[in-house]
Amino acid sequence: MNQRILMKGNEVIAEAAVRAGCRHYFGYPITPQTEIMHYMAHRMIEAGGVMVQAESEVAAINMVYGAAAAGARVMTSSSSPGISLKQEGFSYIAGAELPAVVVNIVRSGPGLGGILPAQGDYFQATKGGGHGDYRNIVLAPASIQELYELTVDAFNLAERYRMLTMIFGDGTLGQMMEPVLFREEEPINRPDRPWAVTGTQGRREHNTVQSIYIEADDLEQVNLRLQAKYHEVAAQETRYETVGCDDAEIIVVAFGTCSRISRNVIRQAADEGIKVGLVRPITLWPFPEHILDQLSQKGHVRAFLDIELNSGQMLEDVRLAVNGRRPVHFLGRMGGNLPTQKEILEKIREIAGRS
Amino acid sequence: MAKVEFNEERCKGCGLCVPVCPKHIISLRRDRLNSKGFHPAGVEAMDQCIGCTFCAVICPDSVIEVYR
Amino acid sequence: MEKVFARTKGLTDKPFHYCPGCTHGIIHRLIAEVMCELDILDETIGVSSVGCTYNNYEYFACDMVQAAHGRAPAVATGIKRVHPDNMVFTYQGDGDLAAIGTAEIIHAAARGEKICTFFANNAVYGMTSGQMAPTTLLGQVTTTSPFGRDADLQGYPINVCEMLATLPGAVYLERVKVTDFKSIQQAKKAIRKAFRVQQQRLGFALVEILSTCPTNWGKSPAESLAWVDQVMVPQYPLGVFRGADLEVDA
């Protein structure tokens, strides 16, 4: 039974959500993530769940807000312009402390931009996006197998911390096919949800789900509680992968699709006698600053190279973590273009003084 | 036999109950102030009340109880 | 003597924050009374919107969710799709429902979402201090139409019930007012019918309640009721726009 199946990234996300116990999906079509909706349209019926095609991304995220308030495992998915529209709901979900999973299969911008892959929504995803002091947990898978596993994790994290958890993919991951191995059954351990609106059933006082607090002291207390939660998430849930960092002279920092390309270049650089390591953030928020801080203090590390599908957004977080101790170089492509292995190798040679 | 009771503390003195009373016995009590600073509505000639509930039904703040 | 009228258990004990004479209080009481009379208070989930009624989650004694401006029908959709056996209602004003939330209300109605919407139309933005609303009447002076609403500059009022009446999913639409004993009884009947429509899973139900805003209209509470009768009703005629023949009260 446990055999690998060849599947498209977007469909894996949808299947993973259903396996994780998600029975409510609200969406609106946008390329390059629409296969998630297509898959949900039949799969939710089979699973006894609900799929609603909303009138807009704004409506979809507010349906998510309602379903989450009602205590359901709920998801929506979109791509960059649609995610911009959903920001209002993200802020309310953060304020009301509701669990929800959002998928962003990032395309290139700004504006309507293009439908090709990009990582230009990094700031939006990790620094807030909507109004107010809040954070989302942001997971950045780099393979189809990881899309599956992180989608399942996203539901658990969302409910554990009552936070919006985002799967931050890009058009490449959404559209490509790779073998995926599904576990036979997902263990679903949902925390109690005494805060949910279910009707009082005459058994308790009435519940309210809200994000508004008119009194300054009340609202400050809410914010202090949120910040304490975010600190706990940063302490408990920061994830990253390192490859060959023990003796590397150059550390590449890249996530998602960029990390896949970079991984191949590490071997090619080694053939030329340049020791290159990779730090791959798996959580973009909380950002794995600690490992970069540590590496920047190692004698063997001479420089960092940040590679992204944007103009250098994570770069700011890398520089903050490195804190001026080592030079941080940058290689980025935009508009839907991907950096080639050759481009990356040339940049590494240049940093190593071998060009 | 009928009577109305006004929760004076909650009355905002909007006066909507005054004209709907068929017996014209409700007035804003200029001699009284509640803690919010409103002159609450009230009835002096309670013996004329017929318990019709007109005042209670129009009251936006549900401050009136009716007995009969 | 027997108590024949008392504050309904469908409301909490918290005093309303509304201005003196504001008819939101009457509408709240009617919804709460109907929930008690239909014995659905403990299965109902309400959605508060943005505007003067933003915090009516503190007043209704049922479970409540506070929604972003205009989004209450979408939030209610999410709730209802999770709890199809519970009663779900939204309480929205004219700015919320007929301006920023136009898409959400139309599509909730078009889907035949099995929820009730109670729509308080007082022809003005109350909370933000008296700006022109989509339902502001021609000639009506507001803080953003200081010379009176001019059709040439600011367009025409939106008649929500008539607009939604073209949608088969909106199975029950009625416009009522709460300016006197008789019309308040009629408004209560309409609210009751809307909940019955939902109980019987017939589709979307909306009751538009012509409401007052003495503060922003610059009128006394009594003058405001008269203004509804004399000025608003000609623009917003009362009656059933869909579902007149629905038999749900049995």
Q: Where does the pLDDT of residue C248 fall: very low under 50, low under 70, confident under 90, or very high at 90 and above?
A: confident
Statement to judge: residues A114 and A248 lie in one domain = no
Distances (CA, A) of A155 to A18, A66, A146, A281, C202: 11, 16, 14, 19, 34
Q: Is the pLDDT of residue C250 over 70?
A: no
Q: Complex ipTM, two decimals?
A: 0.97
Distance CA A146, CA A3 (A): 16
> Which residues of chain C does A200 touch, with a Cβ-Cβ cutoff of 8 Å?
41-42, 62-63
Judged by CB atoms within 8 Å, which residues 9-28 of B form the interface with C? 10, 12-16, 18-20
- Decide which of A237, A259, A293 is a domain's last residue: A237
Statement to judge: residues A232 and A249 lie in one domain = no
Q: Which of A125, A136, A140 is nearest to A239 (CA)?
A: A140
Statement to judge: residues A296 and A227 lie in one domain = no
Per the CB < 8 Å rule, is C5 touching B56?
Answer: yes
Task: Name the minimum distance, in Å, from the CA of C48 to any CA of chain A.
Answer: 9
Mean of the per-residue pLDDT values for chain B? 97
Instruction: Indicate the number of domains in chain A.
Output: 2
Mean of the per-residue pLDDT values for chain C? 97
Per the CB < 8 Å rule, is B20 touching C15?
Answer: no
**Tokens 């990356």 sit on residue:** A344
Contact, A140 vs A112, CB < 8 A? no
Per the CB < 8 Å rule, is A210 touching C65?
Answer: yes
Statement to judge: residues A103 and A218 lie in one domain = yes
Is there a domain that residue C57 lies in?
yes
Strands A74-78 and A24-27: parallel
Judged by CB atoms within 8 Å, which residues 41-60 of B form the interface with C? 51, 53-54, 56-60
Instruction: Indicate the number of domains in chain B.
Output: 1
What pLDDT, on the 0 to 100 scale, is given for residue C9? 97
Contact, C49 vs C93, CB < 8 A? yes
Mean pLDDT computed over B25-38: 96
Task: Report yes or no: A138 at the C interface, CB cutoff 8 Å.
Answer: no
Per the CB < 8 Å rule, is C25 touching B65?
Answer: no
Give C60-115 pLDDT, tens digit per residue.
Answer: 999 999 999 999 999 999 999 999 999 999 999 999 999 999 999 999 999 999 99
Distance CA C129, CA C217 (A): 10
Phi, psi of C132 (to 5 degrees): -65, 135
- Decide which of A237, A253, A277 is a domain's last residue: A237
Residues in chain A: 355
Per the CB < 8 Å rule, is A59 touching C76?
Answer: no
Per the CB < 8 Å rule, is C180 touching B58?
Answer: yes
Phi, psi of B37 (to 5 degrees): 95, 15
Is there a domain that residue C10 lies in?
no
Statement to judge: residues A162 and A13 lie in one domain = yes
Q: Which of A108, A125, A128, A126 is nearest to A117 (CA)?
A: A108
Task: Name the minimum distance, in Å, from the CA of A116 to any CA of chain C.
Answer: 29
What pLDDT, on the 0 to 100 scale, is given for residue A1? 52
Distances (CA, A) of A218 to A61, A224, C94: 26, 10, 29
Task: Name the minimum distance, in Å, from the CA of C68 to any CA of chain A.
Answer: 7
Distance CA A321, CA A88 (A): 30
Q: Copy the structure tokens of residue B23.
A: 């017996």
Task: Report yes or no: B66 at the C interface, CB cutoff 8 Å.
Answer: yes
Q: Is the pLDDT of residue B64 over 60?
A: yes
Instruction: Indicate the number of domains in chain C.
Output: 1
Is there a domain that residue C195 lies in?
yes
C74: closest chain A residue by CA: A63
Amino acid A224 reads L
Per the CB < 8 Å rule, is C181 touching B56?
Answer: no
Is there a domain that residue C18 lies in?
no
**Tokens 């922003």 sit on residue:** C216
Is there a domain that residue C3 lies in?
no
What pLDDT, on the 0 to 100 scale, is given for residue A39? 98
> Which residues of chain C does B19 touch, with a Cβ-Cβ cutoff of 8 Å?
222
Neighbours of A85 (CB within 10 A): 17
Give C175-188 pLDDT, tens digit per residue.
Answer: 999 999 999 999 99
Statement to judge: residues A292 and A308 lie in one domain = yes
> Which residues of chain B does C26 touch, with a Cβ-Cβ cutoff of 8 Å?
58-60
Contact present, C and A (at least 3 Cβ pairs less than 8 Å):
yes
Give A138-154 pLDDT, tens digit per residue.
Answer: 999 999 999 999 999 99
Q: Copy the structure tokens of residue C60.
A: 């209704």
Contact present, C and B (at least 3 Cβ pairs less than 8 Å):
yes
A273 forms beta bridges with: none
Contact, A114 vs A336, CB < 8 A? yes
> Which residues of chain A does C9 touch, with a Cβ-Cβ cutoff of 8 Å?
none
Task: Name the minimum distance, in Å, from the CA of C81 to any CA of chain B.
Answer: 33
Residue A330's H or E segment, with its range, is strand A328-332
Per the CB < 8 Å rule, is C55 touching A212?
Answer: yes
Give A302-328 pLDDT, tens digit per residue.
Answer: 999 999 999 999 999 999 999 999 999
Residues of chain A with pLDDT under 50: none
Statement to judge: residues A233 and A287 lie in one domain = no
Query: What is the distance, to the nearest Å, from the Cα of residue C210 to the centroid of all Cα atoms in its chain?
Result: 8
**Structural domain boundaries enclosing B17:** 3-67
Phi, psi of A2 (to 5 degrees): -75, 80
**Structural domain boundaries enclosing A330:** 241-352
Per the CB < 8 Å rule, is C44 touching A199?
Answer: yes
Q: Which of C10, C14, C47, C52 is nearest to C28 (CA)?
A: C10
Task: Name the minimum distance, in Å, from the CA of A9 to any CA of chain C.
Answer: 26
Task: Name the minimum distance, in Å, from the CA of A74 to any CA of chain C.
Answer: 9
**Structural domain boundaries enclosing C187:** 24-242
Statement to judge: residues A38 and A136 lie in one domain = yes
Strands A137-139 and C44-48: unpaired
Distance CA B45, CA A51 (A): 63
CB pairs below 8 Å between A and C: how many?
A: 135
Statement to judge: residues A95 and A215 lie in one domain = yes
Mean pLDDT computed over C4-13: 98
Amino acid C130 reads G
Amino acid C4 reads V
> Which residues of chain B does C22 touch, with a Cβ-Cβ cutoff of 8 Å?
60
- Cα R_g (chain C), whole angstroms: 17
Neighbours of C220 (CB within 10 A): 15
C11: closest chain B residue by CA: B62
Task: Name the minimum distance, in Å, from the CA of A314 to any CA of chain C.
Answer: 31
Per the CB < 8 Å rule, is A62 touching C41?
Answer: no
Please report the sign of the dihedral spanned by the C-alpha atoms of residue A293, residue A299, residue A301, residue A302: positive
Statement to judge: residues A198 and A316 lie in one domain = no
Q: Work out the percent of chain A whose per-residue pLDDT is above 90.
A: 96
For testing the chain C interface, which of A22, A28, A62 should be mutated: the one with the most C CBs within 10 Å?
A: A62
Residues in chain B: 68
Chain C: list its partners (3+ Cβ pairs within 8 Å).
A, B
What pLDDT, on the 0 to 100 scale, is given for residue C249? 67
* Partner residue opposite C57 with nearest CB, options A201, A202, A210: A210
Statement to judge: residues A82 and A190 lie in one domain = yes
Chain B: list its partners (3+ Cβ pairs within 8 Å).
C
> Which residues of chain A does C76 touch, with a Cβ-Cβ cutoff of 8 Å?
66
> Which residues of chain B does C2 touch, with a Cβ-Cβ cutoff of 8 Å?
67-68
> Which residues of chain B does C24 touch, with a Cβ-Cβ cutoff of 8 Å?
60
- Decide which of A185, A209, A237 is a domain's last residue: A237
Distance CA C180, CA C26 (A): 11
Angle between the N-to-C axes of helices A144-161 and A9-19, in degrees from 0 to 180, rounded to the nearest 10: 40
Statement to judge: residues A310 and A195 lie in one domain = no
Task: Name the minimum distance, in Å, from the CA of B42 to any CA of chain C.
Answer: 16
B68: closest chain C residue by CA: C1
Which of helix, strand or coil describes residue A24?
strand
Task: Report yes or no: A36 at the C interface, CB cutoff 8 Å.
Answer: no
